[in-house]
């Protein structure tokens, strides 16, 4: 039986892997496709967004690197979603994977009750894990729909 921390880490890893699986076997144009006319969402954009989210919660909040710049744009825009047309998949995938690795290392140096700061409010590593699981689960649902609309693939 897994302990609380191991369970939280396992669910977060499950969702990270799920996002990667949603992108496998697709060409560049398919990963950048935005099949919902009213949305900027693409699989490529979701991977970039989750790199930003990893940085936001583990580096900016938990490690308190408040001045860490955004990876793709400023706070007023959704650069990770808006500017994917000329984006390099391999580079962006490597950025997301590096962000996940940094998050694991930062979390590994903390206990579940240790707190970081987000918008001046304390948040525990436990809360960050729960939020990250929710964030990935929500966006993996988006990825499910995008993938099905782009090439008909469902599952994972």
Domain boundaries, the chain: 4-151
pTM: 0.94
| DSSP codes, 47-58 | HHHHHHHHIIII
Q: Token pair of 39, please?
A: 């949305």
What phi, psi does 124 have (nearest 5°)? -80, 160
What's the CATH number of domain 4-151, 1.20.120.450, 3.40.50.970, 1.10.1740.10, 2.60.40.10? 1.20.120.450
Give pLDDT tens digits for 61-72. 999 998 999 998
Q: What mean pLDDT comes out for the span 16-34?
A: 97
Give CA–CA dist 97/118, Å, rounded: 23
Band (75; pLDDT cuts 50, 70, 90): low
């Amino acid at each position: 039986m897994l302990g609380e921390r191991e369970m939280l880490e396992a669910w977060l890893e499950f969702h990270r892997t799920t996002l990667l699986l949603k992108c496998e076997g697709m060409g560049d144009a398919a990963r950048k496709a935005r099949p919902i006319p009213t949305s900027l969402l693409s699989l490529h954009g979701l991977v970039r967004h989750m790199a930003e989210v990893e940085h936001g919660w583990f580096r900016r909040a938990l490690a308190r690197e408040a001045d860490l710049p955004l990876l793709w744009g400023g706070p007023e825009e959704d650069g990770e979603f808006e500017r994917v047309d000329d984006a390099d998949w391999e580079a962006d995938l490597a950025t997301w994977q590096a962000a996940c690795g940094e998050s694991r290392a930062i979390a590994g140096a903390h206990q579940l009750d240790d707190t970081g700061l987000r918008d001046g409010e304390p948040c525990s590593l436990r809360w960050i894990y729960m939020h990250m699981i929710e964030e990935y689960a929500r966006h993996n649902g988006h990825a499910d729909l995008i993938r099905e609309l782009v090439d008909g693939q469902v599952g994972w």
